[in-house]
Chains A and B, each alone.
Chain A
């Protein structure tokens, strides 16, 4: 459907409505049904192309991560259109993708800058929906943005395939029928880290949390606390730090006197880089508390962030959704394809974005239509393999992917500037799974899918 028809119905709507509203003031939701024949919003109809919206941070603290996401999206579009070596399209199981676009339509894309702000991200997504006529929006590098754009897509009636978002809320309290998340979440990080920490550091530890003072930080703190307490650790203190504090010294020095022997940094991005760098400067890792070496844990790791922290991440445990050094066929195919295109390996953000694009395209092929509700139905409960994370399932109840989780550690002797993390353990899916109505995810409602008309 072209731009013209959109405004045509809108204007008609206005005329009708303005006439009507003077006559019958208060008639509730009189005009929610559209006059037009299109059975869903932005139906590409008989067009030879279909447009996807890539909404990533291009300015602000996550700009580099956003740039990597965009690289992955471009690669995915290439592969879908049958160019390049096909990447993970060759390893994906089962796959209905044919390398001739989606449903025979060539894939085109539009991009936008989320600025890592809910408002800007929504404005950008709205532009894609209203002006560029996209059928799917994807991307993002923070949970606040993901939740905001997800609810926008729900209301507008297009599919949202979340990018990097780790808060429990995205598929918990704020889950939406039109939204899907491939990335793992804070609960899974906690569940995966627990046993590894128990093996490495024993059962008698006293943990001190520094937590970014916003939704994601809180859900992660809650998840990690539950997990560490279940292996017998105690929690000394939980301290909230302002986002973007820069200098964390005033939060670090009290740790020295707290009697804690482990520091858990529930920070991401710049906050993580700064707090970790400074904590190590204060000699925390050289300390001994009651005969135990002081340890630092960063539950959510990313290689791009690890680069910013330099040598400071060596030997520090964390979890990650995916890492390029994985040796399964899917990961290798993707790394090869991405590496040949850009000259360096992809980040976990790039991976999840690439996978989400393929999964969407595959779901459309299987459904035989771009109609959001059909796509939702074909993604719900979908089981697949060969996309780098082993056997994976999009759970119908909350639209969260369930798969193995990687526990990683900062490498002591990196062989290159990209070789910063080593995989300590691949925690099986069963260990990180939780019921849909788990207390950390309760309070939300998928609602019904929305076709936008």
Chain B
């Protein structure tokens, strides 16, 4: 069993890595092969994968994870402003700061479980957001968002003798500019590392312990085991993932805004994870990619594009088709997103990964009798995916 899963894990990891690194190639037909969107796929995928370590393994639903992402971004931008435009110190600082903050929030929130836990995390995140937007403006630059300025100190860059120009410096990895395609490849590599760590955690005794907590915390407690430290570690790790994702956002685009911490952002990562498949390894990444794709591509259609799309139809029908399709794209892209949520959860309990599994069953021709009961399928079915 162990050996088998080890082999399939390596295959999964290799497949995932290839798929991520080759995104510029296979995303082209979908119109999504430009750096910014691919960076977003990688960053939010990482965020969701990290979130899944908490939610997928322990069942604890945090509604405030965006706060860690926001704090990671702020830390990274401050590192750019004060220390250096090199991204490595920024990333390390973000992960540490997010980890410390996650420890504080987790330590308090994990005293409760279920919805009480969710509301505690939500409360902390909303307090962070509201304060960052207003009172903490000296640190966060409020609504406008924390930005680089020409007059920033950048102590380390100064010592290293990097000349000050009249244009803003770029974030870089030892001179390699971190926007555009290099930025994407950097995010992709970080995502792959994050994915690898996630697999290791899922397969480790620690991961097994967390799953035990999910299935029956009381029983775990009866065995004389204190579950809190395990939960706290899971919380901190997923908070650090969020901080890392926040840092990458700042790396590819050095601006940190308060709205990253709002409850809607926390809700988004919850939706990403559920949409992709809670407790699966790849699911959260897929969920994140789907939502970001809809947000960036569907919102960009307008009547001109649609007319081109439906150009093959006769004029009268074309007009109708454009009108109908117009409801779902452009300013109506939210409607499509809502439909996607409903359709997925109604027909594919267990998210996109359940769809993938069913497809796999169809292909291999196995009978459908093996299908796990709808509700529990998410955790059981995808153990190997």
Interface residues of A (CB under 8 A from B): 3, 7, 10-11, 13-14, 17-18, 20-21, 24-32, 58-59, 63, 66-67, 108-113, 117-120, 122-124, 126-127, 130-131, 143-144, 147-148, 151-152, 154-155, 169, 174, 213-216, 240, 242-243, 445, 447-448, 450
- Measured between beta carbons, the chain A residues less than 8 angstroms from B135 are 213
Contact A29 B150 (CB under 8 A): no
Contact B182 A123 (CB under 8 A): no
Contact B160 A242 (CB under 8 A): no
- Measured between beta carbons, the chain A residues less than 8 angstroms from B134 are 213-214, 240, 242-243
Contact B295 A120 (CB under 8 A): yes
Pairs of residues from A and B, 8 with the lowest C-beta to C-beta distance, nearest first? A10-B181, A58-B331, A126-B36, A131-B34, A214-B143, A113-B299, A213-B134, A118-B257
Given that A28-B160, A28-B162 are contacting pairs, would A124 and B299 also be in contact in the complex, using a CB cutoff of 8 Å?
yes
Q: Bound complex: CA of A32 vs CA of B33, how far in Å?
A: 22
Contact B181 A445 (CB under 8 A): no
Contact A118 B145 (CB under 8 A): yes
Segment 116-161 of B: residues with Cβ below 8 Å from A: 130, 133-135, 137, 142-145, 147, 149-151, 157, 160
B185 within 8 A of A: yes
- Of the candidates B173, B255, B299, the one having the most CB atoms from chain A within 10 angstroms of its own CB is B299
Given that A59-B331, A448-B167 are contacting pairs, would A17 and B176 also be in contact in the complex, using a CB cutoff of 8 Å?
yes
Contact B296 A123 (CB under 8 A): yes
Q: How far is the CB of A428 from chain B (nearest CB, A)?
A: 31
Q: List 20 A–B pairs whose Cβ atoms lie within 8 Å, in order of A's numbering.
A: A3-B34, A7-B33, A21-B174, A27-B174, A28-B157, A30-B175, A67-B331, A109-B304, A113-B333, A118-B257, A118-B259, A124-B299, A130-B180, A144-B143, A147-B147, A148-B147, A213-B133, A213-B135, A242-B134, A448-B166
B24 within 8 A of A: yes
Which residue of chain B has its CB nearest to the CB of A63?
B331
- Measured between beta carbons, the chain A residues less than 8 angstroms from B31 are 131
Which residue of chain B has its CB nearest to the CB of A169?
B144
Q: Bound complex: CA of A25 vs CA of B173, how far in Å?
A: 9
- Contact size class for B? 35 or more
In the complex, how many residue pairs between chain A and chain B have their CB atoms under 8 Å apart? Answer: 172
B334 within 8 A of A: yes
Contact A26 B36 (CB under 8 A): no
Q: Bound complex: CA of A342 vs CA of B309, how far in Å?
A: 25
Given that A243-B133, A445-B150 are contacting pairs, would A18 and B181 also be in contact in the complex, using a CB cutoff of 8 Å?
no
Contact B145 A144 (CB under 8 A): yes
Contact partner of B330 (CB less than 8 A), chosen from A11, A58, A117, is: A58
Contact A214 B176 (CB under 8 A): no
Q: Bound complex: CA of A154 vs CA of B182, how far in Å?
A: 20
Which residue of chain B has its CB nearest to the CB of A117?
B259
Given that A123-B296, A448-B166 are contacting pairs, would A151 and B147 also be in contact in the complex, using a CB cutoff of 8 Å?
yes
Segment 158-207 of B: residues with Cβ below 8 Å from A: 160, 162, 166-170, 172-177, 179-182, 185
B300 within 8 A of A: yes
Q: Bound complex: CA of A101 vs CA of B40, how far in Å?
A: 35
